């Protein structure tokens, strides 16, 4: 139970089933792991055909649907999947985050996105502040408002994946945040080109706007492609630079989570470094440094990106298999209200800062 919200079915970290059955034999892991892998593969395959939706969102939806179907049968059917689904959601998620690091060249992104840096820093600050204040006002728990905030401010599903692994978010919060981000991903991909034309934005101005204000990379590409080639090139560079915010934000959240853990435990002894900064996050930074130094073969980048997307889909399929639909229904309109307010805030802030700095 968190201090800022009541308990709900499905409370706890992403892998509560594993915590309860840590000593379970590997055979108990097989059913859930097999289903999560299958749903993840299906989601990744469908996501490649429907990039605006993305494999992660599809796999998550499939996982929730399968759990809902099994929940109507004998109780043991749904419970039999929990150990393996929990393990997949944790291990695959952390592996995906590490692989994402190989796609981030700190030097190239900083050089290419220098002009748009004030826009990105301002919009990210506004989103995180508004998410905290408005999310609390709406009565949303800390996990949900944090995930919707980073998903809107940084890079959609990838930011949610990285952050949820650091803060050990409730699975219902992950699902709620993903559904919210997906909704505004689609709206952004459809409405941004129309709004850009109506406002008479230049190719560079629109690319910067889409790169800073649309959540997920696939939706950024979809919106910018509809606007023009220069807009697409600008949007991709800005989006890559914006994605780098994963590093400082997740590190800050890891430190905050460690302090909370320390406050909850008896204040004796030192806090292990693995609780202060999770090892997978260290590996993420190392992977990014390897790419920045030019030691990662360019020919491997596409394969690494595909593997990261597939692992994210498997992880979120596992999250879906652990998520009770009743808990999602109880979330109601409030996450969508927060997501809508954040999307509007980042879009207006991006345009305002661009106008002040002469980028429009």
Residue of higher predicted confidence among 45 and 155: 45
Given CA atoms 240, 242, 246, 251 in this order, what sign does their dihedral have?
Answer: positive
Distance between CA atoms of 340 and 303, rounded to whole angstroms?
A: 34
Using only C-alpha atoms, the chain has a radius of gyration, in whole angstroms, of: 20
Nearest CA to 87 out of 324, 303, 339, 315 is that of 315
Give me the numbers of helices (H) and strands (E) for the chain, helices first please: 18, 0
Total count of domains within the chain: 1
Cα–Cα distance for residue pair 125/143, rounded to 1 Å: 18
Q: Which domain holds residue 346?
A: 16-357
Per-residue pLDDT of 118-168, as tens digits, reads: 888 899 999 999 999 999 999 999 999 999 999 999 888 778 888 888 888
Residues 6+ apart with CB under 8 A from 295: none
In a domain, 235, yes or no: yes
Residue 327: which pLDDT band, with cuts at 50, 70 and 90?
low
**What is the pTM assigned to this prediction?**
0.72
Q: Let me know if residue 202 belongs to a domain.
A: yes
The C-alpha atoms of residue 61 and residue 182 are separated, in whole angstroms, by 11
The closest alpha carbon to 325, from 70, 85, 86, belongs to 70
Q: Tell me, yes or no, whether 123 lies in a domain.
A: yes
State the Cα–Cα distance between residues 134 and 224, nearest whole angstrom: 30
The answer to whether residue 10 is domain-embedded is no
Looking up tokens 């308990």 gives 7
Instruction: Tell whether the model's pLDDT for residue 112 goes beyond 60.
Output: no
Give tens-digit pLDDT for 225-266: 889 888 887 887 788 778 878 888 888 888 888 777 777 664
C-alpha distances (whole Å) from 276 to each of 6, 41, 98, 149, 279 are 26, 33, 17, 22, 9
* Residue 3 reports pLDDT greater than 50: no
C-alpha torsion angle, residues 344, 346, 347, 353 (rounded to 10)? 140
pLDDT in tens, 191-216: 899 999 999 999 989 999 999 999 87
Token pair of 331 as six digits? 């979330």
Q: In this predicted model, what pLDDT tens digit does every residue of 49-100 receive, in sequence order?
A: 887 677 888 898 899 899 888 877 776 777 888 889 988 888 887 888 788 7
**Nearest Cα to 316, choosing from 122, 92, 20?**
92
Question: CA-CA distance, 320 to 322, in Å (whole number)?
Answer: 5
Residue 29 lies in a domain: yes
Q: Is residue 344 part of a domain?
A: yes
């Amino acid at each position: 139970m968190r201090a800022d919200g009541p308990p709900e079915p499905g409370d706890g970290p992403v892998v509560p089933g594993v915590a309860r059955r840590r000593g379970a034999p590997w055979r108990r892991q097989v059913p859930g792991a097999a289903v999560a892998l299958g749903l993840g593969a299906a989601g990744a395959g469908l996501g490649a055909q429907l990039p605006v939706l993305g494999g992660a969102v599809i796999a998550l939806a499939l996982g929730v649907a399968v759990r809902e179907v099994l929940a109507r049968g004998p109780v043991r059917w749904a419970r039999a999947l929990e150990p393996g689904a929990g393990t997949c959601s944790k291990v695959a998620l952390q592996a995906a985050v590490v692989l994402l690091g190989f796609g981030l060249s700190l030097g190239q992104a900083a050089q290419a996105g220098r002009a748009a840096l004030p826009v990105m820093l301002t919009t990210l600050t506004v989103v995180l502040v508004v998410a905290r204040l408005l999310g609390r006002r709406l009565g949303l728990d800390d996990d949900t408002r944090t995930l919707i905030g980073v998903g809107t401010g940084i890079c959609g599903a990838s930011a949610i994946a990285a952050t949820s692994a650091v803060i050990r978010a409730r699975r219902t919060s992950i699902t709620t945040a993903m559904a919210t981000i997906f909704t505004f991903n689609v709206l952004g991909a459809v409405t941004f080109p129309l709004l850009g034309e109506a406002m008479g934005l230049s190719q560079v101005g629109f690319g910067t706007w889409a790169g800073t204000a649309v959540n997920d990379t696939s939706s950024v590409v979809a919106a910018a492609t509809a606007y023009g080639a220069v807009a697409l090139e600008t949007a991709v560079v800005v989006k890559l630079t914006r994605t780098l915010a994963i590093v400082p934000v997740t590190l800050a959240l890891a430190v905050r989570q460690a302090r909370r853990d320390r406050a909850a435990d008896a204040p004796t002894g030192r806090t292990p470094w693995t609780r202060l900064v999770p090892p997978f996050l260290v590996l993420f930074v190392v992977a990014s440094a390897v790419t920045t130094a030019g030691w990662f073969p360019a020919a491997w980048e596409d394969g690494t990106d595909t593997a990261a997307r597939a692992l994210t889909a498997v992880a979120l399929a596992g999250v879906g298999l652990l998520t009770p639909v009743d808990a999602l229904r109880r979330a109601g309109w409030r996450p969508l209200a927060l997501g809508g307010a954040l999307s509007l805030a980042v879009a207006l802030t991006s345009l305002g800062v661009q106008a002040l700095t002469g980028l429009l």
